[in-house]
Structure 1
Amino acid sequence: MKPILRYALGMLLCFYTTKLHAIQIEEPGQEIKTGAEQTDLYLPLLEGKRVAVLANQTSVIGKTHLVDSLQKLGINLVKVFGPEHGFRGDASAGAKVVNSIDERTGIPIISLYGKKNKPSKQDLQDVDILIYDLQDVGVRFYTNINALARLMEACEAHNKRLLILDRPNPNGYLIDGPVLDMEYKSGIGMFPIPMSHGLTVGEFALMANGEGWLANNVKADIKVIPVANYEHDMRYVLPVSPSPNLNTEQSVLLYPSLCMFEGVYVNHGRGTYFPFTVLGSPAYKDIYDFSFTPIGIKGMAETPIFMDEVCYGIDLRQYDTELLRKSGQINFEWIRELYKASPEKEKFFDSKLSNQMNNIEIQIGRGDFRQQIIDDVPMETIRAGWEPELSEYKKMRLKYLLYP
């Protein structure tokens, strides 16, 4: 395909997808364009190059996957790297994802979630430039930023450039929670950032480079294609579910407040078709009227906590998430309420009793939160203990912002 024709097609595609995304925000007159949609800004960088992509089901231009779009535009895609949940987003949380061939395009898929978590020298020997395009949700527990950091390290180690196609953060207004105590560094918390960090992935990449967070303090050769017409406090409805268990706007907006329940003896909706919007356990039978029954669901949660048992608790599916936006804070009252109401307090924080992924210290990123909840320490006192680190983070964050 001739370059001029390819450019014209790219502009047409960009125009078409802009119209699609015009409905994604509340502010009248604003039209968000994701980095991927602005093909005119990055197609020239891919001309004549062998290209690899780290992508999943959220990597779309309009309704078409980025990989399919680039292939149609004549870009030489040599391989795709797949993160947690897989390239097409159909793997359960925490499940190993194996190498395969994409049935739609015939392009090899190399899994970066399982036996290895970053591309090897062999993986990159036939690659000139890499693209990162994953939708993030702005929370430290979400592993996409970890995958980005490892990709940056691999690119630096093997002298490759990384092109980051930025996307809005649906929780971009929220900067809250304790900054990770690196004593509790883990696969769901690798960097000294708060639980909800208020960054897009492009901004995080600039921060990781600038603060020396990559292995051996290296700095990757990156270029960010920013989101157009975006501000951090804008409401943005994701056009594609970012993972199988974040399948509604409600779950995405509640995620910063509910993911901590992965570290306690409570089901948070895994094993239902409305995860991260309900909370409960069989122990609350005589306390709450609302109930749900977790089951094994392939691709979502195959062995959830309290599987096939009736759980009683709190239904947040109709909760007004605008209250979170107005407060500018993660809601810690639900975990306080459920601990107080539990008739089995000795089990509440015992992650060994269940198949939960991590304990509360790993989720929160501090060692004192468990005892503070047990002792019913006022939330204002708990929050005061997060200073001055949280304020220092907010100040440092300003250096790397691409958007108001």
Structure 2
Amino acid sequence: MKKLRGLIVLPAILLAGCILIDACSPAGKAVADNKADNAGRVLTGAEQTEKYLPYLQGKRVGILANPTTVIGKKHLVDSLMNRGINIVKVFGPEHGFRGKASAGAKVQDETDSATGIPIISLYGPKRKPSAADLADVDIMIFDVQDVGCRFYTYINVMRDIMESCAENKKELMILDRPNPNGYLVDGPILDMRFKSGIGQFPIPITHGMTIGEFAQMINGQKWMANNLQCNLKIIPLANYRHDMPYTLPVAPSPNLNTQQSVMLYPALCLFEGTIISQGRGTYTPFAVLGAPALKGQYDYSFTPRSIAGMAETPLHMDEACYGLNLLNYDINEMRRSGRINLQWMIELYKAYPIKEKFFDRSYSKQMGDINKLAGTDLFQQQIKEGKTADEIRASWEPGLSEYKKMRLQYLLYP
């Protein structure tokens, strides 16, 4: 990929049926202007209002938003309305527009009490806007914070929004945000036999892309129904690199409520397919690991409780869980290694006294499917066979290397 005076020159596959960043548009100019201040702080697409507000004037705007959709401490919807932008409806993903729903809880359509705008839920009876939903919309905006993992489902939501926009000939503006795990490209490529709500694309566990870059990949790889192409306008980040540390200003979801949990999520979410609690039902989810059966093998313990808005019926509720405290784990360790930590999974499987329960969902309705989380049925077998982390990682090739090469053609940032 080459850059010439603000124009992003992209492979031909990306240009068919898709408008990306216009060379003469505010977004295109931003790519060139942002080079001038490499020492400046990262600016999200939403923060660079001068790049897109003129384009929205006079248009009827729909927006996919949640509590991470902010400019500073103010929600983007409130900010745009105060600036005279005509927002006709909001679409809410998992947890809802204002983030009041628990993980996995169905969300109903409603009217936003703060603005009076209709809110269409995309985490209830339907998962993408209908033709009727978009009939009075001239342009859609997507602005939600992602964390760079295949099983973090906002990339699925974005694909569905793109598909609806393509079907109904609506333009989609993406206000890009940093990927806090953008440095990390690792994990097995999803075997599409295990395609599910937590794995929709043939990508590794951590894809190493921003949401704007991933949208380009969806278009370029033709991952929408009937090879549809979405007309995209991306407002890029300023002063961003994939390898830079980035602390999220807003928790991306109720159970990723600290920077520690966000950085540990690529490794610890795999435990949702096991009998081991990842701390749901505590105020430190995705930063601790444990189970009642590990009593006597570990000194550290925690007790999951029912917490409204976070975990109403967590695994091992009201039972003391013994295991690993990762609250003070050096989260830069994975950054230095460039790899997902597999040692915790290996260690806790070896330590667990009842091996047949470790991955078996029949023992707990709160457990997820490890094959769907890992994207392959080989991972579970490798852990059971006592394979080392290096042996497991070797089995991810050549798929992982092929993905890394493919990814390069869609990047907007170094």
Q: TM-score category by the smaller chain?
A: over 0.9
**Alignment match, 2:297:** 287
Q: Any idea what SS the aligned residue of 2:51 has?
A: helix
> 1:356, CA displacement in angstroms?
2.8
Q: Does 1:255 align with 2:255?
A: no
> 1:28, CA displacement in angstroms?
9.4
Structure 1: runs of 5 or more not aligned: 1-26
Q: Does 1:200 align with 2:210?
A: yes
Q: Any idea what SS the aligned residue of 1:191 has?
A: coil
Q: Any idea what SS the aligned residue of 1:400 has?
A: coil
Q: Does 1:314 align with 2:324?
A: yes
Distance across 2 between alignment mates of 1:113 and 1:306 = 26
- TM-score scaled by structure 1? 0.92
Q: Any idea what SS the aligned residue of 1:394 has?
A: helix
Q: Any idea what SS the aligned residue of 2:323 has?
A: strand
**Alignment match, 2:399:** 389
| Distance change (3 Å), C-alpha of 1:303 and 1:38 | same
**Alignment match, 1:362:** 372
> 1:357, CA displacement in angstroms?
5.0
**Alignment match, 1:135:** 145
Distance across 2 between alignment mates of 1:242 and 1:371 = 32
Distance across 1 between alignment mates of 2:362 and 2:48 = 47
Cα displacement string for residues 59-106 of structure 1 (whole angstroms, at most 9, x for unaligned residues):
000111000000000000000000001101121111101111111111
How much identity, in percent, do the aligned residues show? 64
Q: Does 1:77 align with 2:87?
A: yes
> 1:351, CA displacement in angstroms?
1.6
Question: What amino acid is aligned across from residue 285 of structure 1 in structure 2?
Answer: K
- 1:266-305 to structure 2, matched below 5 A, reads 266-305=276-315
**Alignment match, 2:105:** 95
- TM-score scaled by structure 2? 0.90
Tell whether the 8 Å contact from 2:65 to 2:143 is kept in structure 1 after alignment. Answer: yes
- 1:159-198 to structure 2, matched below 5 A, reads 159-198=169-208
Distance across 1 between alignment mates of 2:82 and 2:90 = 16
User: Where do 4+ consecutive residues of structure 1 move more than 4 Å?
Assistant: none
Tell whether the 8 Å contact from 1:263 to 1:356 is kept in structure 2 after alignment. Answer: no
**Alignment match, 1:105:** 115
Question: What amino acid is aligned across from residue 357 of structure 2 in structure 1?
Answer: K
Q: Does 1:400 align with 2:410?
A: yes
Cα displacement string for residues 106-140 of structure 1 (whole angstroms, at most 9, x for unaligned residues):
11100001210000011111110000000000000
Question: What amino acid is aligned across from residue 245 of structure 1 in structure 2?
Answer: N
Question: What amino acid is aligned across from residue 119 of structure 1 in structure 2?
Answer: P
- CA RMSD, 1 decimal: 1.1
Distance across 2 between alignment mates of 1:346 and 1:370 = 12
Q: How many residues align?
A: 378
| Distance change (3 Å), C-alpha of 1:401 and 1:315 | same
Distance across 2 between alignment mates of 1:237 and 1:382 = 30
**Alignment match, 2:157:** 147
Matching residue within 234, 253, 266 for 1:243? 253
Distance across 2 between alignment mates of 1:30 and 1:44 = 24
**Alignment match, 1:67:** 77
